[in-house]
Chain A
Amino acid sequence: MALALILVPTLGALAAFAIRDNHNRPWLLVAVAVAHLALTVLLLCGATPPPDTSWLWLDPPGRLVLGLVSVLFLATAVYAVGYLRYRHERANAIFIACLNALLAALTVAILARHLGLMWVAVEASALAAAPLIYFNKNKRSIEATWKYLLVGSVGVAIALLGTFFIAYSAVHAGAEPSLRFDDLAQAAPTLSKPWLRAGFVLALVGYGTKMGLAPMHTWKPDAYGEAPGLAGALLAGGVTSAAFLAILRILRVCNAAGEGAYASSLLLGLGLFSMAVAAALLVGQRDVKRMLAYSSVEHMGILAIGVSLGGVGIFGAMLHLLANGLTKGVLFLSAANLHRGYQSRFTTDVSGALRGMPASATLFLLGFFAITGAPPFGPFVSELTIARAAFLGDQPVAGALFLLFLMIVFIGMGQTVLKLCFGDGPGPTTTWRDRAATTGPIFVLLALVLMLGTLVPDVLTALLTENVAWLEVAP
């Protein structure tokens, strides 16, 4: 079952090159996405787990991220049909192959129960995403892709060194070392503490680069700014979540080894710093896509803070993982529509979008309210939960800073978004119009975000609680 889930997008990647028809090739994405989602549902609804020594299976956060990635991919796949048909003058074989390869790599990363395998998959997903950023093939996208490749590769290399350090902490403990996450957590008390600590720091820096935590976020505004919106949605909602998953799994080993306090303090510091950097750069931002990139930095910070607080904070962070991923899909896809319509992503050129492109602009505006934590959307609940965890957990300073940064971000992003949506600018300048394929998926994602904020299904609450227990494994 797990293998089929990986095989489907892998075959899809190969099939992309076999299909000659540039116009109809995007449908391949939808086919792969539907199959992937169907298998994901089957897997989540209780397939029999394999023997305990296998390398591929779902742990509690893996279940969350797998569901998120699969839904997000289906939404972007449907969107891609509309988008790539509009841009039919560009060959899209490589683009579609890389989207499939990205899904395959992400699936492996999510299913990986082995520290080394996880690293290989995250690196593969980073490489599969590079051609997506380069889709527009101009000077700016070259620069963005180069920075993404170099910073990302060095980051992932550091994560590999961290992986090796953690492996050495197991070797140091003697016996037959195993790098399966479960075995590591079980053997955690015997692991060599200095190597484990150093390994966690390196893994945090390395995977944190992939997540886009400040100060390792420098590639992010460039890459998200130049990549097509649908690639941005997958990067901000999928790749970052997979990197966060890697950090969570290593954090669990640290918790089991009794080093949780040390690891959490690092996460809290990086999280607050990320929020601060994002808040500073969001104020007065005129480029809509860069704005979304800094918003992503901010929300990666929120995830780190939530997890570092423990208990209710973890519950909030895991809910926020879903809420942020889905809302990022709404924002990137609707921003891409506006970008296509007006042929600019700067507030200096675009205004009055609510009149010019009412569907996309409304979705974008609602997405903005959702991501900045306005009720009744999902992020409101998750951010409130994290703030509560901070004040209840004796971290009033962190809690106060958290709320302060949220407020600055709301005001900063608000300025940009209001300029874009209201005002009396001219209408769209291109032939791009809102269509079912390019607004429908956004609407569905927004509905899901709304659901997370209003009626969270009991199954999900149970899964989130399970995540808290999973991460807070006793030493």
Chain B
Amino acid sequence: MASLLDALLVLVLVVNLYALGTSRIAVVIRLVAIQGLVLGALPLLAHHTISLEAVVISVAAVALKGVIIPVLLYRALREVERREVEPLISTGASMLLGGLGAALALAFTGNLPLTVGDAHHLVVPAALATVLTGFILLTTRLKAISQVLGYLVLENGIFIFGLVLVDAIPLIVEIGALLDLVVAIFVMGIMLTHIRREFASTDTRALSALKEE
């Protein structure tokens, strides 16, 4: 179980790097969908026994992070005129940054005060690396839709950290958090449509009328 868990977490890390390295938004959406599907499998593997709670979270995560949200974003993308991510720094540089972040997260895990059980798998470093990837995507991409994707990856990282907390976080809170995420993406999707209609592009550089004179 533990080795399968770690294998999937490594897959998550690879997806992170890939998402940082590609220049096509459609590919990033597909990668985020894959990450969502992988994430859905994790709650079933993180513990020795499979509880009903883990199954519910797993199903909800697959449905929301793996299917519904990517479909919503794909729809939003279809209407966007240009489909390159237009990063602020080159994709190679952001990949390097992400790789560095992942390496640091792995290296630091030894120093983190983890419980005995949690020191033996990759959950915490993978979570931190994914959060970091989300931040890089958020801050270095100019298209509004890429920023939404960055936010999603950030949330995925936090979700991974939640794996070590299954006993502490009640089911209703986990579900509430997932629902909030969907509503957030839904509202952002609506705003994307409006941004494009008003500005004829979703380049956030166009959003610069409001500032101090």
Contact = CB atoms under 8 A, between A and B. Distances in A.
Interface of A: 114, 116-117, 119-120, 123-124, 127, 130-131, 134, 137-140, 142-147, 149-150, 153-154, 157, 160-161, 164, 167-168, 170-172, 174, 176-179, 192, 194-195, 221-222, 225-226, 281, 286, 290
A171 B167 CA distance: 8
Interface in B169-213: 169-170, 172-173, 176-177, 180, 183-184, 187-188, 191, 194-195, 198-199, 204, 207-210, 212-213
A152 to B, nearest CB: 9
B177 A160 contact: yes
A114 B177 CA distance: 14
A172 B115 CA distance: 6
B168 A179 contact: yes
A253 to B, nearest CB: 14
A116 B170 contact: yes
B105 to A, nearest CB: 14
Nearest to A108: B176
Interface in B77-95: none
A159 B90 CA distance: 30
B20 interface: no
Contacts of B209: 139-140, 143
Contacts of A150: 138, 147, 151, 188
B72 to A, nearest CB: 15
Contact of A171 (B154, B155, B168, B183): B168
Contacts of A139: 198-199, 209
B155 A157 contact: yes
B158 interface: yes
Contact of A179 (B112, B169, B210): B169
A157 B183 contact: no
B69 interface: no
B164 interface: yes
A153 B151 contact: yes
A294 B131 CA distance: 30
Contacts of A168: 161, 164-165, 168
A142 B198 contact: yes
B144 interface: yes
Nearest to B175: A120
Among A147, A160, A194, A222, which residue has the most Cβ atoms of chain B within 10 A? Answer: A160
Given A143-B210, A154-B138, A195-B113, A161 B161 contact: yes
A22 B173 CA distance: 36
Contacts, number: 121
Among A117, A146, A172, which residue has the most Cβ atoms of chain B within 10 A? Answer: A146
A153 to B, nearest CB: 5
B99 interface: no
A154 B195 contact: no
Q: Chain A interface secondary structure, helix, strand, loop or mixed?
A: helix
Nearest to A116: B173
B21 interface: no
Contacts of B198: 138-139, 142
A274 to B, nearest CB: 16
A144 B210 CA distance: 8
Contacts of B180: 120, 123-124, 127
A177 B168 CA distance: 5
Contact of B113 (A120, A172, A174): A172
A292 to B, nearest CB: 15
Contacts of B208: 143
A177 B167 contact: yes
A134 B191 CA distance: 9
B207 A147 contact: yes
Contacts of B172: 117
Contacts of B131: 161
B177 A119 contact: yes
A157 B161 CA distance: 12
A136 to B, nearest CB: 12
B210 A221 contact: yes
Contacts of A290: 212
Contacts of A154: 138, 151, 154
A145 B204 CA distance: 13
Contacts of B167: 171, 176-177
A286 B176 CA distance: 42
Contacts of B199: 139, 142
A292 B102 CA distance: 42
11 contacts: A116-B173, A123-B180, A134-B191, A140-B209, A142-B198, A146-B207, A147-B207, A164-B165, A171-B115, A178-B168, A194-B113
The 5 residue pairs across chains A and B that have the minimum distance between CB atoms: A116-B173, A120-B176, A177-B168, A143-B207, A222-B210
